[in-house]
């Protein structure tokens, strides 16, 4: 199966709610519209800690390492497998010093049906609350000297809810783990690995959504509407 996560949602109308959730008192005028079908290559909100306070800004989804020759590699690095982070020279340094929280309220995956068709599914928390995906980021300089900041979403093995849909899922951090994930004082990558595990299936649900979510050009509330069977 291909890697996930490849699409997700952040469908909050009130962006101030998100700033409050992350304890960001000075958003610098930053805002982000409701998004119903976020895709790789797009700019996405991410939360980091600068050593003094939490900050929020945009990162392009698809990691372009600082050593890359060009930015095309980003489309191959939208995800990073938790199991191999420590063994990959690209990811291990970022795990030590460049970690971010990627706000989401759901993600999509496609379930293969017995007749061979694929059904788009949206996976959310039963509480329907905001949650944080574990991410890594880096900054690459273009040939002209401009800075491009990008990110990747870490994935883990599927929980029992996801297993019938896909064998991977994004690494969702528990609320009380978010501080540690972006704590600049935590520089030992091994101490972070226990945070990267599949989320409790009992706290999640999956429901079918319209096929239109398959195109990244579609980004409307219809993308997250529950499809009746």
Active-site residue (options: 100, 109, 178, 223): 109
Q: Report d(CA 214, CA 178) in Å as an integer.
A: 30
The number of residues in the chain equals: 229
Catalytic residue status for 109: yes
3-class secondary-structure state, position 92: helix
Look up 5 and say whether it is catalytic. Answer: yes
Cα 41 to Cα 100: distance, rounded to the nearest angstrom? 17
* Choice among 5, 100, 151, 223 that is catalytic: 5
The residue ranges of DSSP E strands in the chain, in sequence order, are: 8-10, 35-38, 43-49, 54-61, 79-81, 99-104, 106-112, 118-125, 131-141, 147-157, 168-170, 172-173, 204-208
Whole-number Å distance between alpha carbons of 167 and 174: 21
What positions carry a catalytic annotation?
5, 109
């Amino acid at each position: 199966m291909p890697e996930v996560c490849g699409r997700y949602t952040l469908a909050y109308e009130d962006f101030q709610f998100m700033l409050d959730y992350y304890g960001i008192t000075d958003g610098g005028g930053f805002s982000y519209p409701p998004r119903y079908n976020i895709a790789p290559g797009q700019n996405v909100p991410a939360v980091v800690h600068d050593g003094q306070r939490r900050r929020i800004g945009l990162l392009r989804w698809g990691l372009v390492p600082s050593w890359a020759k060009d930015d095309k590699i980003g489309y191959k690095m939208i995800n990073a497998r938790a199991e191999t982070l420590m063994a990959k020279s690209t990811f291990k340094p970022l795990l030590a010093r460049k970690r971010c929280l990627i706000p989401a309220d759901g993600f999509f995956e496609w379930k293969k049906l017995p007749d061979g068709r694929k059904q788009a599914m949206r996976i959310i928390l039963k509480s329907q609350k905001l949650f944080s995906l574990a991410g890594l980021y880096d900054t690459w300089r273009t040939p002209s000297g401009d800075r491009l900041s990008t990110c990747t979403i870490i994935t883990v093995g599927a929980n029992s809810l996801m297993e019938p849909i896909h064998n991977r899922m994004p690494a969702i951090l528990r609320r009380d783990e978010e501080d540690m994930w972006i704590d600049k004082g935590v520089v030992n990558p091994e101490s972070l690995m226990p945070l990267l595990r599949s989320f409790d299936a009992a706290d999640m649900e999956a429901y079918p959504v319209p096929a239109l979510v398959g195109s990244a050009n579609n980004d409307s509330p219809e993308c997250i509407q529950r499809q009746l069977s």
